[in-house]
Structure 1
Amino acid sequence: MGKLATIARRSFLIGSAAVAGGVAFGIYKVRQAAPNPLLDDLPPGAVALTPFVRIDGQGVTLITPRAEMGQGIHTTLAALVAEELDVAWDSIRVEHGPPGAAYYNRALVEHNVPFSELDQGLAAEAMRGAMGAMAKLLPMQITGGSSNVADLFDRMRAAGAAARFALVAAASPKLGLPAAQLKTDNGSVIAPDGRRLSYQELAAAAAGIELPASPPLKAREQWRYLGKSMPRVDMVAKCTGTASFGIDVQLPDMVFATVRMNPAKGAALVSSDASAAKAMRGVLKVLDLPGGVAVVANNTWRAFQAVQAVRCDWAEPTYPASTQAMVDAIVASMTEKNQDSRLRDDGNVDKALSGDKVLEAEYRVPFLAHATMEPMNAVAWLHDGQLDIWAGVQNPTAARDQAAQLAGLDASQVRLHVMLMGGGFGRRLESDYVAQAVQLAVAMAGQPVKLTWRREEDMAQDFYRPAAVARLRGTTAAKQVSALDVQVASLSVVESNLGRLGLPALGPDAKIIEGAYDQPYGIANYRATAYRTPAARPVSYTRSVGNSYNAFFIESFIDELAAQAGADPLDMRLALLSHEPSRQVLSAVAALSGWGQPLPAGRGRGLAFHLCRGVPVAQVVEITTTPRGVKIDKVFVAVDVGTALDPRNLEAQLQSGVIFGLSAALYGEISFAQGAAEQSNFHDYPVLRLQQAPQIVVKVLESGGAIRGVGETGVPPVAPALANAIFQATGKRIRELPLRRHVDFV
């Protein structure tokens, strides 16, 4: 397919998706301001100047409407508003806030167009505009895709500046001075003679002032909070054990529940016998749910014990039931009939690969669990004609709307309290556990129901990251890659997730091939093809999604080509890259790690580069081989985020990504028998242990480009960098994950 035809096809498909999402209502609908959701439930005496700023007698509360999963987003988002509002950092309170259309995530949806993040062409920008409009009209209040800061950087600063404008305007008649002569500082409006009025005193009057659509924002040199490492707003509570996560919620007269679903996720419950469970101490009720059973008891432990006593006859899954059958289905889908996209097709790949020095390889990665520390849980309480829910969710508008439908209520009758969560990684984009809690609340109307999944249930009922298979061919000339052909097959997470939301998956799923087609390598003959495996076991988004496996495929194979050509892996990549920030991160990580300096026998370094969510990142892993296995000594990371809003938090995020990626690279694997996962807990689904954790050295570069997030960025390069280090130290090339299948680690 030619480039023009490819763009035309993309345009048609994405345009269709935009119309389906409501863009056809007209531009006026897109430009219309969303209502302020804080006004629906304001406490007495409180004023909500914008959807992000609430003021009452206790002070200023900033609304940070993205899920806090430990990544520090509430701190960074609060700093955006506080900077422009001129409030003292130690005086503010921070809340997630309610679900609301005003909090839609435009950047996340724009990221999902099938164009490289670096492509600023007319077609790419037109598609981003259409998809961004769809995000507002649906609306999609989602935390994911490293999109939070990119999406809210301008909007939340503008919200703080607009609120400040209104407060100054309200102070002007009270102080008898023009607004231009007044200043603000630490939550007060100040006159030249020293008189000051607090924001609390001015809030009621400020609420009646029309806000500017585009208030002026501070220049960077005026920043007081942004660009600095800020104290985390949740740190004291988390360190003292007073932070309230979803699993911590306690209400009067609460009952406690758990569920047991068909281990072959999505398959039915044929029949059950709950007589033994009903006779157990503390059991209040046993209920059938679609695909399983639930037990309600007077404490969680008794519910856990009783649900295991229910005898269940499970239906067989309709999809391939074993690991081998699932992988066979993925491999079988690598045919023209199942081609999902070809998002890169430069040069003449077939001609370039017609010679006799073609390198071919097949790479594979397994299914992965999210394995959050806090298992899925929710509290639901149906009372007085309304439904209250307390849960950690990454898609609160979808969770609220589903809950309303299940309870037979209007969305306005549902109050969703979004809690801190002990990990998300994409798992809490799904709201199956919230739906179960609502169903139980309907059955126990009048009593709050706390649903908690057993760890084993959490592992068994996950929406896993799908397995993937890649076939790569390449060749080199003059120590440079002259042709690269990448074919990747996997299940579609977009199709699976949107299907559960009742939305059509129109057009190609770029997630299958992201991180393979969009890398800024200037290879003259470069083709990337995605194949969509027919829907089977439900799957979903995981931290960095397709990047998590495509980086392993591409960066390992680039290393293979470098070895074939007798080229230095760093020099080869630098010569391929024309994107200057990408070249800079490679040079930075090389300097940081001492790349090129000799290592003693038994030690090795491996390099990988990746562009993830528009952020270039490079990593070097340094290892030592021992008689007991491989020891990971150090990981060096260089990244360019455009502008570093909170350097310490960025460093922590990247360290987190490295640990997450190493856990998957070394150990991560879900296997299946009869449709059920064979792993059940951390004893057979291990993560990196403290004594195995390497020293992680991070360097953050700032090219001044677009603001970007790094929640996912640290994950993709670490697996290939480690595999390349193992090759460098041992000569052993590993083409599948987890690496422990081939190497022992200490």
Structure 2
Amino acid sequence: MSRLRTITRRSFIIGSAAIVGGVAFGTYLYKRDLKNPLLEGLPPGAAAITPYVMIDASGVTLITPRADVGQGAYSIQAYMIAEELDVDLDTVQITPGPPSPVYYNGVVGVEAMPIAATSETLLARTGRGASDVAGKILGLQLTGGSSTVPDMFDRLRMAGAVARETLLAAAVAQTGLDRDQLKTEAGAVVLPDGMRLTYQDLAAAAADIDPVTEVTLRDPSEWRHLGKTQMRTDILSKSTGTQTYGIDMAMEGMLYATTRTNPAQGGEIMGFDAGRAEKMRGVQAVLPITGGVAVVADNTWRAFQAVQAVDCDWGPSPYIGDTAEQFETVAASFTDDRQDSRFRDDGDVKAALSDGEVLEAEYRIPYLAHAPLEPMSVVVKLEKGRVDIWTGTQIPRFMQANVAALTGIDAENVHIHVLMSGGSFGRRLEDDYTLRAVGVAQQMPGTPIKMVWSREEDFTHDFPRPLAMARARGKVTDGQIAAYDLAIAAPSTAESQMARLNQPVFGPDIAIVAGAWDQPFAIPDYRVTGHRVPAMVPVSSWRSVGASGNGFLHESFMDEMCHAAGVDPLEERLRLCTHPPSRGVLEAVGEMSDWGVDLGPGRGRGLAFCLSFGVPVAEVVEVSQTDAGLKIDRVFVAAEVGRVLDPVNFEAQLSGAVIWGLGHAMNCELTYRDGVPQQDNYHLYEGLRLYQTPKIEVRGLENGDKLRGIGEPGVPPAAPALANAIFAATGQRIRELPLSKSVDFA
């Protein structure tokens, strides 16, 4: 075996946190070699130059292992490799590759640690390094937590640089020329006389020499792609309707399935009568599955029709069945024995609030569905001790392990083929839909089964964003916020979600207080407490996770306190802010929105700020009163991510986050009756309409010293900025979402 092939079996994590904060993580497990999955079945003359670059007779293939759920992850990963490899993306293939520990995520674990993004203590730096260690040891291949760019930035550029220099070394050996006489361009090594040796020409030679791992990454001043306007690699296919999503997967001999399970999450099926369904056109089989039935037919529509014809006897829900009772359970959890965390406890809040006038408020946020446009779908083929699965997923290795456990087939014979997803918002961090389809395929071995859920099944069996309540108390002194006490009660996302992934959970759940406990404000007496509500409806991660609701809880009360103190909300936040990058976004959004300028009668302007996923974001929403209701006129957003790698997609992600956040704040909730969600399709779960969409102005700041992701941080400030704007325009203070319970929108 060549030296190159030996080295590419190793973990190619150059530039990751092997040494963080001066602390070396030198354990055997962390330093051990990880197998390069591209080497398996590699044809003669091909080279797997790192686990991210493969060259064979068909050309250059770039591996982009973080899932693309619409946020442009494949595109930005490919550009990071291409920046150093010198290839044009319209001439290469891009694939997420197979599930493998080598593609572990070393950043996402930080979100589960009580480490403030603003902290640079030795303990904080050590903790961030520990996240990389844990990610590698566990082989944590996961897309989430806005971690794709910060986790892959150095790794993918280094992969491109090593591949480039190794190909140059092959050219040196082949031509006898000096390295300095050669350059790379558009997938080829260029000789002094202009002759071009394509990377394909050099692949066989590159596979038989030592890789060049001592490389220098290009200075940003030399970048051709990063930091500049890019055309996303999927823009043409998505614009022309030719993009293949998971739901588009088809193969010869495939049959079509759908499932119908107890609409009360977790409830059993006591029995069923499939007599009518079995006689319907195209039906091949009606099969029992856990909690319900599946229909297999010759197309999806016939499966949908037939499954509704099955007469099912449903058992009761094992969970608290009604929304009113659920909120009673939340309210009863503000007790010492239910305290989950108190990561913020500055000064002496108890003493500060023991006398004098104390401002008090209670807030509520509802369960929210993920509701991706592409419903849950998967193709499963099971035969002869092997399972093949085609779907869009953010957790390929967890899915692989769970399918192996379900079928008894070794994980190495469970092959996950990751496809583009038509949305997720956290839904594809679950694999329940795949496990149901595998249950069907087990009963029809050898036949490819394509399972698609109806929209109603998708809504009814979603694992929603948790509901929550907050009780806030505060005091103002001499026109300033002096004391702030926020208690939040919510079910644990980690406890619920990790149980389904067969992963242990230890300690407090950061998500209960995320986006609240670590805000960069120096209030003298400042406390944030999390209370864990007993498990009710199973819940899951939702775009921006705990911060999605805590932004509303924290910033609504901050606005109330500013009003009570008689101070300007922007000026008071700036006075309290201790974090220069956060101060920068507050100043920027104030400038963008002409903060302080009177908008005139019937209009109002609201400000909100939230630091989540290490990204400070400030938003200003402007509203006006009309005869038809409140109209959102404009939104201004400023965010600090350290470096904007794609200005167009940066703007798209923040604008999309605002639209997502506003639409849910205005209209959306999941309510339960007898354990069954009452909203089962978009007509009962209405997002922001096109005619309601405001003009959105975005500004990206690049003053931070760390690269950050932007997929989620724009969501948390949207709801409080809108609620605060409504107060400014109408004098009505709203403390419960959705806002449409209290006001009408035009």
- TM-score, L = length of structure 2: 0.95
For residues 558 and 192 of structure 2, what CA distance do their matches in structure 1 show?
Answer: 64
Distance 1:469 1:324 in 2: 13
- Residue 433 of structure 1 corresponds to 433
Q: Residue 576 of structure 2 aligns with which residue?
A: 576
CA distance in 2: counterparts of 1:234 and 1:304, whole angstroms: 31
- Does residue 588 (structure 1) correspond to residue 592 (structure 2)? The answer is no
What is residue 278 of structure 1 aligned with on the other side?
278
> Is 2:165 aligned against 1:169?
no
1:617 aligns with: 617
Matched with 1:669 is 669
Task: Tell me how far 1:45 sits from its aligned partner.
Answer: 5.3
- Structure 2 Cα separation of the partners of residues 543 and 169 of structure 1: 45
Q: Answer yes or no: is 1:35 the counterpart of 2:35.
A: yes
Could you tell me whether the CA contact under 8 Å between 2:581 and 2:704 is conserved in 1? no
Out of 711-720 and 258-267, give the one that drifted further. 258-267
Q: Residue 682 of structure 2: SS of its match in structure 1?
A: coil
Q: Which residue of the partner structure matches residue 598 of structure 2?
A: 598
Distance in 2 between the 1:161 and 1:73 partners? 20
Range with bigger deviation, 238-247 or 30-39: 30-39
Q: CA deviation at 1:291?
A: 1.1
| Aligned: 1:315 with 2:337 | no
The SS at the match of 1:397 is helix
Q: CA deviation at 1:58?
A: 2.9
For 1:132-211, what aligned pairs fall within 5 Å after superposition? 132-211=132-211
Letter in 2 for 1:201: D
Using the alignment, how far apart are the partners of 2:517 and 2:250 within structure 1?
48
Of 292-301 and 192-201, the range deviating more from structure 2: 192-201
- Residue 348 of structure 1: aligned partner: 348
Look up the equivalent residue of 2:672 and give its one-letter code.
Answer: F
Q: CA deviation digits over 1:599-646, x for unaligned, max 9?
A: 120111100111011111110001111121100011100111101111
8 Å CA contact 1:111–1:117 kept in 2: the answer is no
What letter matches 1:541 in structure 2? S
Give the letter aligned to residue 396 of structure 2.
P
The residue aligned with 1:638 is 638
In the TM superposition, what is the alpha-carbon distance from 1:585 to its structure 2 partner? 0.7
> 2:64 aligns to what?
64
| Equivalent runs, 1:99-110 vs 2, <5 Å | 99-110=99-110
CA distance in 2, matches of 1:265, 1:209: 57
Partners of 1:131 and 1:148 lie apart in 2 by: 15
Matched with 1:291 is 291
In the aligned structure 1, how far is the partner of 2:730 from the partner of 2:653?
31
SS in 1 for 2:688: coil
* Shift in Å, 1:384: 4.6
Deviation per residue, 1:449-500 (Å, 9 max, x gap): 0000000000000000010000011111232211111100101010101111
2:671 equivalent to 1:656: no
Equivalent pair of 1:115/1:343 in contact (CA under 8 Å): no
Q: Which amino acid aligns with 1:394?
A: Q
Distance (Å, rounded) in 2 between the aligned partners of 1:565 and 1:446: 70
**Identity rate, percent:** 52
Give the letter for the 1:418 counterpart.
V
Secondary structure of the structure 1 residue equivalent to 2:519: coil
- Which amino acid is 1:187 matched to? G
User: Structure 2 counterpart of 1:566, which letter?
Assistant: G
Q: SS at 2:107's partner residue?
A: helix
Rounded to whole Å, the distance in 1 between the matches of 2:383 and 2:213 is 40
Task: Tell me which amino acid in the other structure corresponds to 1:534.
Answer: P
CA distance in 1, matches of 2:179, 2:360: 70
How far 1:251 sits from its partner (Å)? 0.6
Cα-Cα RMSD: 1.4
Moved more, 31-40 or 165-174: 31-40
Q: 1:81 to 1:536 in 2, by over 3 A?
A: same
SS at match of 1:683: helix
Structure 1 residues 640-684: Cα deviation after superposition (integer angstroms, max 9, x where no partner): 110111111000000010011011100110000010000110111
Deviation at 1:214, TM superposition (A): 5.2
Q: 1:536-551, aligned counterparts within 5 Å?
A: 536-551=536-551
Matched residue, 2:360: 360
Matched residue of 2:49: which SS? strand
Change in 2 beyond 3 A, CA 1:43/1:328:
farther
Moved more, 190-199 or 642-651: 190-199
Counterparts of 1:138 and 1:286, CA distance in 2: 39
- Tell me what 2:305 maps to: 305
2:442 aligns with 442
| Aligned-pair CA distance for 1:284 | 1.0
2:16 equivalent in structure 1: none
CA distance in 2, matches of 1:228, 1:173: 35
1 CA distance for matches of 2:279 and 2:90?
Answer: 54
User: Which residue does 1:714 correspond to in 2?
Assistant: 714
Give, as a single letter, the amino acid of the residue that structure 2 aligns with 1:673: R
How far 1:94 moved relative to its partner?
A: 1.3
CA distance in 2, matches of 1:429, 1:42: 31
Which one is further off, 125-134 or 155-164? 125-134
SS across alignment from 2:578? coil
Structure-2 separation of matches of 1:45 and 1:280: 54
| Residue 54 of structure 2: aligned partner | 54
Cα deviations by residue, 1:391-445 (Å, 9 ceiling, x for unpaired): 0101111111212222321122122111111101110000011111112122111
Does the 8 A contact of 2:45 with 2:207 survive in 1? no
Residue 726 of structure 2 corresponds to residue 696 of structure 1: no
Aligned-pair distance for 1:129?
2.5
Alignment partners' CA distance in 1, 2:281 and 2:348: 72
Residues 265-309 of structure 1 show CA distances to partners (whole Å, capped at 9, x for unaligned) of: 122222222222112221111111111111111111111111111
Distance in 1 separating the partners of 2:455 and 2:193: 63
Q: Assess, with a 3 A threshold, how the Cα gap between structure 1 residues 308 and 63 changes in structure 2: closer, same or farther.
A: same
Question: Does residue 90 of structure 1 match 2:90?
Answer: yes
Distance in 2 (alpha carbons) for counterparts of 1:408 and 1:380 = 16
2:3 is matched with none
Task: Tell me which amino acid in the other structure corresponds to 1:347.
Answer: G
Give 1:692 deviation, angstroms: 0.7
Could you tell me which residue of structure 2 aligns to residue 22 of structure 1? none
Q: Are the aligned partners of 1:142 and 1:396 in contact in 2 as well (CA < 8 Å)?
A: yes
Structure 1: 4+ residue segments shifted above 6 A = none
Question: Are 1:70 and 1:421, in contact at CA under 8 Å, matched by a contact in 2?
Answer: yes
The answer to whether the 8 Å contact 1:158/1:214 transfers is: no
Shift of 1:193: 3.3
- Output the CA distance in 2 between the equivalents of 1:331 and 1:704: 39
2: CA distance, partners of 1:539 / 1:699: 34
Query: What letter matches 1:294 in structure 2?
Result: A
Provide structure 2 residue ranges, at least 5 long, that are not aligned to the other structure: 1-24
Q: 1:303 to 1:266 in 2, by over 3 A?
A: same
Secondary structure in 1 matching 2:423: coil
Tell me the SS of whatever aligns to 1:367: coil
The residue number in structure 1 matching 2:8 is: none
Partner-residue secondary structure (3-state), 2:684: coil
- Asked if 1:252 corresponds to 2:252, the answer is yes
In structure 2, give the amino acid aligned to 1:382. Answer: L
CA distance in 2, matches of 1:97, 1:387: 17
Q: CA deviation at 1:36?
A: 1.1
Letter in 2 for 1:268: E
Deviates most, 584-593 or 308-317: 308-317
1:357/1:210 CA distance change after superposition, 3 Å: farther
Alpha-carbon distance in structure 2 between the residues aligned to 1:461 and 1:703: 43
Moved more, 130-139 or 293-302: 130-139
For residues 211 and 632 of structure 2, what CA distance do their matches in structure 1 show?
55
Aligned to 1:4: none
CA deviation after TM superposition for structure 1 residue 44, in Å: 6.6
Alpha-carbon distance in structure 1 between the residues aligned to 2:200 and 2:521: 55
| Mapped contact 2:111–2:510 kept (Cα < 8 A) | no
Answering whether residue 457 of structure 2 is matched by residue 465 of structure 1, we say no
Aligned residues between the structures? 722
Contact 2:268 2:292 in 1 (8 A): yes
> Deviation string for 1:347-382 (max 9, x for gaps)?
101111123221110000000000110100100011
CA distance in structure 1 between the partners assigned to 2:695 and 2:109 by the alignment? 35
Partner Cα separation in structure 2 for residue 501 and residue 250 of structure 1: 28
C-alpha deviation, 1:122, in angstroms = 2.0
Distance 2:298 2:47 in 1: 40
Contact 1:366–1:466 (Cα < 8 Å) also in 2: yes
